[in-house]
Structure 1
Amino acid sequence: MQEHKPQLSYILPNLFTAASCFCGVISIISSINSNFKSAVFYIFLALVFDGLDGRIARLTNTTSKFGVEFDSLADLVAFGVAPAVLFYASSGYEYGKIGSLITGFFIVFGAIRLARFNVTTGTYEPSVFIGLPIPTAAIVSAIYTYAFLSYEWLKPYEIVFLCLQLMLAFLMVSNIRYPSFKKIDLSKSNMLKVLVLLILVFSMLYLFTFESILLIVSVYVFYGIVRAIWNLLTKFKRLKKG
Protein backbone atom coordinates (compact mmCIF):
# COMPACT_ATOMS: atom_id res chain seq x y z
CA MET A 1 0.00 0.00 0.00
CA GLN A 2 1.43 3.39 -1.04
CA GLU A 3 2.17 5.75 1.81
CA HIS A 4 0.84 9.28 1.34
CA LYS A 5 2.85 12.22 2.60
CA PRO A 6 1.12 14.63 4.98
CA GLN A 7 -0.59 17.45 3.13
CA LEU A 8 1.31 19.99 5.24
CA SER A 9 4.60 18.88 3.67
CA TYR A 10 3.22 19.86 0.24
CA ILE A 11 1.83 23.17 1.50
CA LEU A 12 4.99 24.34 3.29
CA PRO A 13 7.28 24.91 0.24
CA ASN A 14 4.49 26.73 -1.59
CA LEU A 15 3.87 28.83 1.51
CA PHE A 16 7.46 30.12 1.32
CA THR A 17 6.98 30.78 -2.39
CA ALA A 18 3.86 32.79 -1.57
CA ALA A 19 5.83 34.70 1.08
CA SER A 20 8.48 35.55 -1.53
CA CYS A 21 5.79 36.81 -3.92
CA PHE A 22 4.14 38.81 -1.13
CA CYS A 23 7.47 40.46 -0.26
CA GLY A 24 7.76 41.44 -3.92
CA VAL A 25 4.34 43.08 -3.79
CA ILE A 26 5.22 44.97 -0.59
CA SER A 27 8.46 46.11 -2.25
CA ILE A 28 6.46 47.47 -5.20
CA ILE A 29 4.10 49.33 -2.86
CA SER A 30 7.10 50.74 -0.94
CA SER A 31 8.63 52.00 -4.20
CA ILE A 32 5.35 53.65 -5.22
CA ASN A 33 5.29 55.36 -1.80
CA SER A 34 8.94 56.50 -2.27
CA ASN A 35 10.09 54.32 0.63
CA PHE A 36 13.06 52.98 -1.30
CA LYS A 37 15.01 51.56 1.64
CA SER A 38 12.06 49.33 2.53
CA ALA A 39 11.69 48.36 -1.14
CA VAL A 40 15.29 47.11 -1.18
CA PHE A 41 14.81 45.28 2.13
CA TYR A 42 11.74 43.39 0.89
CA ILE A 43 13.56 42.29 -2.27
CA PHE A 44 16.30 40.83 -0.05
CA LEU A 45 13.65 39.19 2.16
CA ALA A 46 12.00 37.71 -0.94
CA LEU A 47 15.38 36.21 -1.85
CA VAL A 48 15.55 34.49 1.56
CA PHE A 49 12.09 32.95 1.16
CA ASP A 50 12.87 31.97 -2.44
CA GLY A 51 15.98 30.14 -1.28
CA LEU A 52 14.03 28.26 1.38
CA ASP A 53 11.11 27.01 -0.72
CA GLY A 54 13.15 24.85 -3.08
CA ARG A 55 15.34 23.45 -0.33
CA ILE A 56 12.34 22.51 1.80
CA ALA A 57 10.66 20.86 -1.19
CA ARG A 58 13.79 18.78 -1.87
CA LEU A 59 14.30 17.87 1.80
CA THR A 60 10.68 16.72 2.16
CA ASN A 61 10.64 15.16 -1.33
CA THR A 62 7.55 17.21 -2.24
CA THR A 63 8.69 18.84 -5.48
CA SER A 64 5.85 19.18 -7.96
CA LYS A 65 5.08 20.70 -11.35
CA PHE A 66 2.69 23.13 -9.62
CA GLY A 67 5.49 24.20 -7.27
CA VAL A 68 7.87 24.85 -10.17
CA GLU A 69 5.31 26.95 -12.06
CA PHE A 70 4.25 28.84 -8.93
CA ASP A 71 7.89 29.56 -8.09
CA SER A 72 8.51 31.03 -11.55
CA LEU A 73 5.47 33.31 -11.34
CA ALA A 74 6.46 34.43 -7.83
CA ASP A 75 10.03 35.10 -9.04
CA LEU A 76 8.74 37.30 -11.85
CA VAL A 77 6.92 39.47 -9.30
CA ALA A 78 9.63 39.55 -6.63
CA PHE A 79 12.71 39.68 -8.85
CA GLY A 80 11.36 41.08 -12.11
CA VAL A 81 8.63 43.61 -11.39
CA ALA A 82 9.76 44.73 -7.91
CA PRO A 83 13.34 45.84 -8.80
CA ALA A 84 12.14 47.32 -12.09
CA VAL A 85 9.53 49.43 -10.29
CA LEU A 86 12.15 50.42 -7.70
CA PHE A 87 14.42 51.61 -10.51
CA TYR A 88 11.65 53.51 -12.31
CA ALA A 89 10.01 55.06 -9.23
CA SER A 90 13.30 56.21 -7.72
CA SER A 91 15.08 57.62 -10.76
CA GLY A 92 14.10 55.94 -14.04
CA TYR A 93 11.10 58.21 -14.57
CA GLU A 94 13.47 61.18 -14.91
CA TYR A 95 14.79 59.79 -18.20
CA GLY A 96 11.45 59.61 -19.99
CA LYS A 97 11.07 56.89 -22.61
CA ILE A 98 14.59 55.59 -21.99
CA GLY A 99 13.74 54.93 -18.34
CA SER A 100 10.47 53.25 -19.35
CA LEU A 101 12.26 51.09 -21.91
CA ILE A 102 14.91 49.89 -19.46
CA THR A 103 12.16 49.12 -16.93
CA GLY A 104 10.26 47.10 -19.52
CA PHE A 105 13.39 45.27 -20.70
CA PHE A 106 14.19 44.14 -17.16
CA ILE A 107 10.74 42.61 -16.66
CA VAL A 108 10.38 41.04 -20.13
CA PHE A 109 13.92 39.62 -20.21
CA GLY A 110 13.43 38.38 -16.65
CA ALA A 111 10.35 36.46 -17.80
CA ILE A 112 12.31 35.01 -20.74
CA ARG A 113 15.12 34.02 -18.35
CA LEU A 114 12.67 32.14 -16.13
CA ALA A 115 11.00 30.40 -19.07
CA ARG A 116 14.37 29.35 -20.50
CA PHE A 117 15.52 28.06 -17.12
CA ASN A 118 12.39 25.92 -16.77
CA VAL A 119 12.75 24.26 -20.17
CA THR A 120 16.54 23.75 -20.02
CA THR A 121 16.93 22.53 -16.42
CA GLY A 122 18.98 19.36 -16.44
CA THR A 123 20.40 19.90 -19.93
CA TYR A 124 23.61 21.60 -18.78
CA GLU A 125 26.11 21.21 -15.94
CA PRO A 126 24.61 22.09 -12.52
CA SER A 127 27.72 24.01 -11.44
CA VAL A 128 26.88 26.96 -13.74
CA PHE A 129 23.96 29.18 -14.70
CA ILE A 130 23.47 30.09 -18.35
CA GLY A 131 22.82 33.80 -18.13
CA LEU A 132 22.56 35.86 -14.97
CA PRO A 133 19.88 34.36 -12.65
CA ILE A 134 16.91 36.68 -12.14
CA PRO A 135 17.24 36.75 -8.30
CA THR A 136 20.87 37.85 -8.69
CA ALA A 137 19.92 40.48 -11.29
CA ALA A 138 17.22 41.76 -8.92
CA ILE A 139 19.57 42.09 -5.96
CA VAL A 140 22.25 43.79 -8.06
CA SER A 141 19.71 46.17 -9.60
CA ALA A 142 18.31 47.05 -6.15
CA ILE A 143 21.78 47.66 -4.73
CA TYR A 144 22.89 49.76 -7.70
CA THR A 145 19.69 51.82 -7.50
CA TYR A 146 20.07 52.39 -3.75
CA ALA A 147 23.76 53.29 -4.18
CA PHE A 148 22.87 55.82 -6.87
CA LEU A 149 20.31 57.38 -4.52
CA SER A 150 22.60 57.32 -1.48
CA TYR A 151 25.87 58.74 -2.84
CA GLU A 152 25.78 62.26 -4.23
CA TRP A 153 29.12 61.81 -6.01
CA LEU A 154 27.45 59.23 -8.28
CA LYS A 155 24.88 61.71 -9.65
CA PRO A 156 27.08 62.96 -12.54
CA TYR A 157 27.44 59.34 -13.71
CA GLU A 158 23.75 58.77 -14.41
CA ILE A 159 24.48 57.45 -17.90
CA VAL A 160 26.66 54.71 -16.35
CA PHE A 161 23.83 53.84 -13.96
CA LEU A 162 21.35 53.52 -16.85
CA CYS A 163 23.80 51.38 -18.83
CA LEU A 164 24.29 49.08 -15.82
CA GLN A 165 20.54 48.57 -15.47
CA LEU A 166 20.25 47.81 -19.17
CA MET A 167 23.25 45.48 -18.96
CA LEU A 168 21.61 43.46 -16.17
CA ALA A 169 18.52 42.94 -18.33
CA PHE A 170 20.56 41.64 -21.27
CA LEU A 171 22.79 39.48 -19.07
CA MET A 172 19.72 37.49 -17.98
CA VAL A 173 19.06 36.35 -21.56
CA SER A 174 22.74 35.99 -22.51
CA ASN A 175 24.71 32.74 -22.80
CA ILE A 176 27.33 33.97 -20.34
CA ARG A 177 28.06 31.35 -17.69
CA TYR A 178 27.96 32.18 -13.99
CA PRO A 179 29.00 29.89 -11.12
CA SER A 180 26.03 28.46 -9.21
CA PHE A 181 27.96 27.41 -6.05
CA LYS A 182 25.67 24.37 -5.81
CA LYS A 183 28.67 22.04 -5.79
CA ILE A 184 31.49 23.64 -3.83
CA ASP A 185 34.57 21.52 -3.24
CA LEU A 186 34.79 21.27 0.54
CA SER A 187 37.57 18.70 0.70
CA LYS A 188 40.12 18.99 3.49
CA SER A 189 42.64 20.63 1.14
CA ASN A 190 40.21 23.45 0.35
CA MET A 191 38.51 23.75 3.75
CA LEU A 192 41.11 26.12 5.21
CA LYS A 193 41.01 28.39 2.14
CA VAL A 194 37.21 28.57 2.27
CA LEU A 195 37.29 29.29 6.02
CA VAL A 196 39.82 32.12 5.65
CA LEU A 197 37.87 33.60 2.73
CA LEU A 198 34.60 33.51 4.69
CA ILE A 199 36.23 35.17 7.71
CA LEU A 200 37.54 37.98 5.48
CA VAL A 201 34.16 38.40 3.76
CA PHE A 202 32.22 38.54 7.04
CA SER A 203 34.76 40.96 8.50
CA MET A 204 34.26 43.30 5.56
CA LEU A 205 30.49 42.93 5.87
CA TYR A 206 30.75 43.86 9.55
CA LEU A 207 32.88 46.95 8.89
CA PHE A 208 31.35 48.18 5.62
CA THR A 209 28.06 46.34 5.16
CA PHE A 210 26.51 48.10 2.17
CA GLU A 211 29.79 48.80 0.39
CA SER A 212 30.89 45.17 0.82
CA ILE A 213 27.62 43.83 -0.63
CA LEU A 214 27.96 46.28 -3.53
CA LEU A 215 31.50 45.07 -4.19
CA ILE A 216 30.64 41.35 -3.94
CA VAL A 217 27.70 41.49 -6.35
CA SER A 218 29.67 43.66 -8.78
CA VAL A 219 32.57 41.19 -8.79
CA TYR A 220 30.13 38.33 -9.48
CA VAL A 221 28.43 40.14 -12.37
CA PHE A 222 31.63 41.30 -14.05
CA TYR A 223 33.40 38.00 -13.42
CA GLY A 224 31.03 36.34 -15.90
CA ILE A 225 31.59 39.07 -18.49
CA VAL A 226 35.40 39.06 -18.15
CA ARG A 227 35.48 35.27 -18.26
CA ALA A 228 33.36 35.22 -21.43
CA ILE A 229 35.60 37.81 -23.14
CA TRP A 230 38.73 35.88 -22.09
CA ASN A 231 37.32 32.64 -23.50
CA LEU A 232 36.46 34.37 -26.79
CA LEU A 233 39.96 35.84 -27.09
CA THR A 234 41.53 32.46 -26.30
CA LYS A 235 39.34 30.76 -28.90
CA PHE A 236 40.20 33.44 -31.47
CA LYS A 237 43.95 32.99 -30.84
CA ARG A 238 43.65 29.23 -31.29
CA LEU A 239 41.74 29.64 -34.55
CA LYS A 240 44.34 32.16 -35.76
CA LYS A 241 47.18 29.77 -34.97
CA GLY A 242 45.32 26.88 -36.61
Structure 2
Amino acid sequence: MRKDPPPPIAYLFPNFFTAASIFTGFYAISLGYHHEFITAAWFIFLALIFDGLDGRVARMTNTASHFGVEFDSLADIVAFGVAPAFLLYLYIGEGYGRIGIVVSALFIIFGAVRLARFNVTTSHIEPNVFIGLPIPTAAIMISLAILVSEQYPSMSQYKVLMLPFAVILALLMVSNIRYPSFKKINFNTFHFMRFLVLVIVSALGIFIYPIEGMALLGVGYLFYGVLRAGYYLLRRLMGYRG
Protein backbone atom coordinates (compact mmCIF):
# COMPACT_ATOMS: atom_id res chain seq x y z
CA MET A 1 0.00 0.00 0.00
CA ARG A 2 1.54 3.28 -1.13
CA LYS A 3 1.64 6.11 1.37
CA ASP A 4 0.14 9.44 0.44
CA PRO A 5 2.73 12.20 -0.06
CA PRO A 6 2.91 14.74 2.76
CA PRO A 7 1.08 18.03 2.23
CA PRO A 8 3.21 20.85 0.81
CA ILE A 9 3.08 22.79 4.07
CA ALA A 10 4.87 19.90 5.82
CA TYR A 11 8.05 20.76 3.91
CA LEU A 12 8.20 24.03 5.84
CA PHE A 13 8.95 22.34 9.17
CA PRO A 14 12.46 20.97 8.51
CA ASN A 15 13.41 24.09 6.53
CA PHE A 16 12.26 26.23 9.44
CA PHE A 17 14.88 24.61 11.67
CA THR A 18 17.49 25.09 8.95
CA ALA A 19 16.59 28.78 8.75
CA ALA A 20 16.77 28.96 12.55
CA SER A 21 20.31 27.59 12.36
CA ILE A 22 21.29 30.37 9.94
CA PHE A 23 19.68 33.03 12.12
CA THR A 24 21.36 31.69 15.25
CA GLY A 25 24.73 31.66 13.51
CA PHE A 26 24.25 35.24 12.35
CA TYR A 27 23.18 36.29 15.82
CA ALA A 28 26.37 34.73 17.19
CA ILE A 29 28.29 36.92 14.73
CA SER A 30 26.47 40.05 15.93
CA LEU A 31 27.19 39.13 19.55
CA GLY A 32 30.85 38.62 18.72
CA TYR A 33 30.94 42.03 17.06
CA HIS A 34 29.89 43.52 20.42
CA HIS A 35 32.50 41.33 22.20
CA GLU A 36 29.90 39.19 23.94
CA PHE A 37 31.97 36.11 23.21
CA ILE A 38 30.57 33.75 25.84
CA THR A 39 26.96 34.24 24.71
CA ALA A 40 28.03 34.03 21.07
CA ALA A 41 29.78 30.71 21.69
CA TRP A 42 26.65 29.27 23.30
CA PHE A 43 24.55 30.41 20.34
CA ILE A 44 26.73 28.28 18.07
CA PHE A 45 25.73 25.36 20.30
CA LEU A 46 22.10 26.36 19.75
CA ALA A 47 22.71 26.38 16.00
CA LEU A 48 23.99 22.81 16.35
CA ILE A 49 20.71 21.79 17.98
CA PHE A 50 18.68 23.31 15.15
CA ASP A 51 20.99 21.65 12.62
CA GLY A 52 20.33 18.28 14.23
CA LEU A 53 16.58 18.82 14.31
CA ASP A 54 16.05 19.69 10.64
CA GLY A 55 17.18 16.30 9.33
CA ARG A 56 15.29 14.37 11.98
CA VAL A 57 12.09 16.32 11.36
CA ALA A 58 12.48 15.75 7.61
CA ARG A 59 12.77 11.98 8.14
CA MET A 60 9.89 11.87 10.63
CA THR A 61 7.56 13.78 8.31
CA ASN A 62 8.88 12.14 5.11
CA THR A 63 9.72 15.56 3.70
CA ALA A 64 13.39 15.06 2.82
CA SER A 65 14.22 16.80 -0.46
CA HIS A 66 17.17 17.86 -2.58
CA PHE A 67 16.31 21.47 -1.79
CA GLY A 68 16.51 20.69 1.93
CA VAL A 69 19.94 19.09 1.53
CA GLU A 70 21.32 22.10 -0.33
CA PHE A 71 19.68 24.54 2.09
CA ASP A 72 21.21 22.65 5.01
CA SER A 73 24.70 22.87 3.48
CA LEU A 74 24.36 26.63 3.00
CA ALA A 75 23.17 26.94 6.58
CA ASP A 76 26.17 24.96 7.81
CA ILE A 77 28.67 27.24 6.10
CA VAL A 78 27.07 30.25 7.83
CA ALA A 79 26.49 28.79 11.30
CA PHE A 80 29.56 26.54 11.52
CA GLY A 81 31.95 28.20 9.08
CA VAL A 82 31.52 31.98 9.03
CA ALA A 83 30.24 32.40 12.60
CA PRO A 84 33.04 30.55 14.47
CA ALA A 85 35.71 31.96 12.14
CA PHE A 86 34.45 35.50 12.78
CA LEU A 87 34.43 34.88 16.54
CA LEU A 88 37.96 33.49 16.30
CA TYR A 89 39.13 36.57 14.42
CA LEU A 90 37.55 39.03 16.84
CA TYR A 91 38.59 37.07 19.92
CA ILE A 92 42.28 36.59 19.10
CA GLY A 93 43.03 36.83 15.37
CA GLU A 94 42.50 40.58 15.06
CA GLY A 95 45.55 41.21 17.21
CA TYR A 96 47.78 39.26 14.79
CA GLY A 97 47.00 41.15 11.61
CA ARG A 98 47.16 39.16 8.38
CA ILE A 99 47.91 35.91 10.21
CA GLY A 100 44.57 36.19 12.01
CA ILE A 101 42.79 36.93 8.72
CA VAL A 102 44.40 33.97 6.95
CA VAL A 103 43.66 31.50 9.75
CA SER A 104 40.03 32.60 10.03
CA ALA A 105 39.56 32.52 6.26
CA LEU A 106 41.23 29.10 6.05
CA PHE A 107 38.70 27.73 8.52
CA ILE A 108 35.82 28.92 6.31
CA ILE A 109 37.40 27.77 3.04
CA PHE A 110 38.28 24.29 4.27
CA GLY A 111 34.86 24.04 5.92
CA ALA A 112 33.25 24.78 2.56
CA VAL A 113 35.48 22.17 0.89
CA ARG A 114 34.46 19.67 3.57
CA LEU A 115 30.76 20.32 2.92
CA ALA A 116 31.16 20.13 -0.86
CA ARG A 117 33.03 16.84 -0.63
CA PHE A 118 30.40 15.43 1.71
CA ASN A 119 27.60 16.39 -0.67
CA VAL A 120 29.18 14.68 -3.69
CA THR A 121 30.45 11.55 -1.90
CA THR A 122 27.83 10.89 0.75
CA SER A 123 26.40 7.96 -1.21
CA HIS A 124 29.81 6.33 -1.70
CA ILE A 125 31.22 6.15 1.84
CA GLU A 126 30.60 3.90 4.81
CA PRO A 127 27.23 4.68 6.40
CA ASN A 128 28.66 4.85 9.92
CA VAL A 129 31.58 7.25 9.48
CA PHE A 130 32.43 10.76 8.34
CA ILE A 131 35.42 11.29 6.05
CA GLY A 132 37.15 14.24 7.67
CA LEU A 133 36.10 16.12 10.77
CA PRO A 134 32.49 17.35 10.43
CA ILE A 135 32.26 21.13 10.23
CA PRO A 136 29.77 21.38 13.16
CA THR A 137 32.30 19.59 15.37
CA ALA A 138 35.05 21.99 14.29
CA ALA A 139 32.78 24.95 15.07
CA ILE A 140 31.93 23.58 18.50
CA MET A 141 35.64 23.13 19.25
CA ILE A 142 36.24 26.82 18.48
CA SER A 143 33.34 27.75 20.76
CA LEU A 144 34.65 25.51 23.53
CA ALA A 145 38.14 27.02 23.23
CA ILE A 146 36.60 30.46 23.77
CA LEU A 147 34.49 29.25 26.70
CA VAL A 148 37.43 27.54 28.40
CA SER A 149 39.59 30.62 27.91
CA GLU A 150 36.90 32.82 29.45
CA GLN A 151 36.30 30.32 32.25
CA TYR A 152 39.95 30.46 33.30
CA PRO A 153 41.34 34.01 32.96
CA SER A 154 44.77 32.72 34.01
CA MET A 155 44.96 31.00 30.62
CA SER A 156 44.66 34.28 28.71
CA GLN A 157 48.37 34.19 27.88
CA TYR A 158 47.76 30.99 25.91
CA LYS A 159 44.91 32.35 23.79
CA VAL A 160 47.25 32.66 20.82
CA LEU A 161 47.28 28.84 20.66
CA MET A 162 43.72 29.06 19.33
CA LEU A 163 45.13 30.10 15.95
CA PRO A 164 47.22 26.96 15.32
CA PHE A 165 44.36 24.95 16.86
CA ALA A 166 41.99 26.40 14.25
CA VAL A 167 44.47 25.47 11.50
CA ILE A 168 44.56 21.89 12.81
CA LEU A 169 40.76 21.77 12.81
CA ALA A 170 40.67 23.10 9.23
CA LEU A 171 43.15 20.45 8.08
CA LEU A 172 41.21 17.71 9.85
CA MET A 173 38.06 18.77 8.01
CA VAL A 174 39.65 18.15 4.59
CA SER A 175 41.60 15.08 5.69
CA ASN A 176 40.69 11.46 4.95
CA ILE A 177 40.58 10.61 8.65
CA ARG A 178 37.42 8.75 9.56
CA TYR A 179 35.25 9.91 12.44
CA PRO A 180 32.27 7.97 13.80
CA SER A 181 28.79 9.13 12.93
CA PHE A 182 26.49 8.54 15.88
CA LYS A 183 23.49 9.18 13.64
CA LYS A 184 23.99 5.79 11.95
CA ILE A 185 24.78 3.35 14.73
CA ASN A 186 24.25 -0.27 13.79
CA PHE A 187 22.54 -1.69 16.86
CA ASN A 188 22.90 -5.25 15.56
CA THR A 189 26.65 -5.14 16.19
CA PHE A 190 26.78 -2.31 18.72
CA HIS A 191 27.58 -2.86 22.39
CA PHE A 192 24.56 -1.00 23.70
CA MET A 193 25.31 -1.45 27.43
CA ARG A 194 28.84 -0.08 27.08
CA PHE A 195 27.49 2.89 25.16
CA LEU A 196 24.79 3.48 27.78
CA VAL A 197 27.34 3.45 30.61
CA LEU A 198 29.57 5.85 28.68
CA VAL A 199 26.65 8.22 28.02
CA ILE A 200 25.59 8.21 31.69
CA VAL A 201 29.12 8.85 32.96
CA SER A 202 29.66 11.60 30.37
CA ALA A 203 26.32 13.24 31.19
CA LEU A 204 27.11 13.28 34.92
CA GLY A 205 30.54 14.76 34.25
CA ILE A 206 29.06 17.47 32.02
CA PHE A 207 26.43 18.22 34.68
CA ILE A 208 29.17 18.87 37.26
CA TYR A 209 31.63 20.61 34.92
CA PRO A 210 29.68 21.64 31.78
CA ILE A 211 32.38 23.46 29.83
CA GLU A 212 35.28 21.28 30.92
CA GLY A 213 33.29 18.07 30.35
CA MET A 214 32.25 19.03 26.83
CA ALA A 215 35.80 20.15 26.05
CA LEU A 216 37.19 16.78 27.14
CA LEU A 217 34.61 14.94 25.03
CA GLY A 218 35.45 17.12 22.03
CA VAL A 219 39.18 16.61 22.39
CA GLY A 220 38.61 12.88 22.86
CA TYR A 221 36.60 12.79 19.63
CA LEU A 222 39.39 14.61 17.77
CA PHE A 223 42.10 12.30 19.08
CA TYR A 224 40.00 9.20 18.42
CA GLY A 225 40.05 9.82 14.68
CA VAL A 226 43.74 10.75 14.60
CA LEU A 227 44.88 7.82 16.76
CA ARG A 228 42.69 5.39 14.82
CA ALA A 229 44.19 6.61 11.54
CA GLY A 230 47.69 6.36 13.00
CA TYR A 231 47.04 2.82 14.21
CA TYR A 232 45.88 1.58 10.82
CA LEU A 233 48.73 3.40 9.08
CA LEU A 234 51.27 1.78 11.41
CA ARG A 235 49.70 -1.63 10.91
CA ARG A 236 49.83 -1.17 7.15
CA LEU A 237 53.50 -0.18 7.29
CA MET A 238 54.30 -3.17 9.48
CA GLY A 239 52.51 -5.39 7.00
CA TYR A 240 54.58 -4.03 4.12
CA ARG A 241 57.78 -4.64 6.03
CA GLY A 242 56.69 -8.14 6.92
TM-score (norm 2): 0.93
Q: Does 1:67 align with 2:68?
A: yes
CA RMSD, aligned part only?
Answer: 1.9
Paired residues of 1:148 and 1:161 also in contact (CA < 8 A): no
Residues of 2 paired with 1:68 and 1:183: CA distance?
Answer: 17
1:104 aligned partner: 105
Which residue is 1:58 aligned to?
59
The alpha-carbon deviation at position 187 of structure 1 amounts to 5.9
The AA in structure 1 aligned to 2:209 is: F
Q: Tell me which residue corresponds to 1:18.
A: 19
Residue aligning to 2:229: 228
More deviation, 201-210/78-87: 201-210
Say if 1:164 and 1:2 are closer, same or farther in 2 by CA, change over 3 A. closer
Unaligned runs of 5+ residues in structure 2 are: none
Deviations 1:79-103 (A, max 9, x none): 0000001111111111111111110
Equivalent positions of 1:77-156 (< 5 A) are 77-156=78-157
| TM-score, normalised by the number of residues in structure 1 | 0.93
Superposition map of 1:160-179 within 5 A: 160-179=161-180
Shift of 1:237: 1.1
* Contact 1:76–1:107 (8 Å) recurs in 2: yes
Q: Distance in 2 between matches of 1:111 and 1:187?
A: 34
- Find the aligned partners of 2:81 and 2:17 in 1 and give their Cα distance: 18
Alpha-carbon offset, residue 228 of structure 1: 1.2
* Structure 2: distance between partners of 1:66 and 1:183: 22
Decide whether aligned partners of structure 1 residues 189 and 109 sit closer, same or farther in structure 2, where only a CA change above 3 A counts: closer
Matched, 1:218 2:219: yes
Percent identity of paired positions between Structure 1 and Structure 2: 49
How far apart are the structure 1 equivalents of 2:173 and 2:104? 14
Cα distance, 1:111–1:204 mapped onto 2, change above 3 Å: same
Output the CA distance in 1 between the equivalents of 2:229 and 2:174.
14
Deviations 1:181-224 (A, max 9, x none): 13335469933322222221111111111100000000001111
The unaligned stretches of length 5 or more in structure 1 are none
Using the alignment, how far apart are the partners of 2:183 and 2:40 within structure 1?
A: 28
Contact 1:126–1:182 at 8 Å: present in 2 too? no
CA distance in 2, matches of 1:63, 1:189: 27
C-alpha spacing 1:230/1:188, structure 2 compared with 1 (3 Å): closer
Q: Distance in 2 between matches of 1:168 and 1:3?
A: 44
Amino acid at match of 2:36: N
Give secondary structure in 1 for the equivalent of 2:183: coil
- Corresponding pairs, count: 241
After TM superposition, give the deviation of residue 113 of structure 1 in Å.
0.7
Residues 177 and 225, structure 2, Cα contact 8 Å, conserved in 1: yes
Distance of 2:112 and 2:189 partners within structure 1? 41
Give the Å deviation of 1:147: 1.7
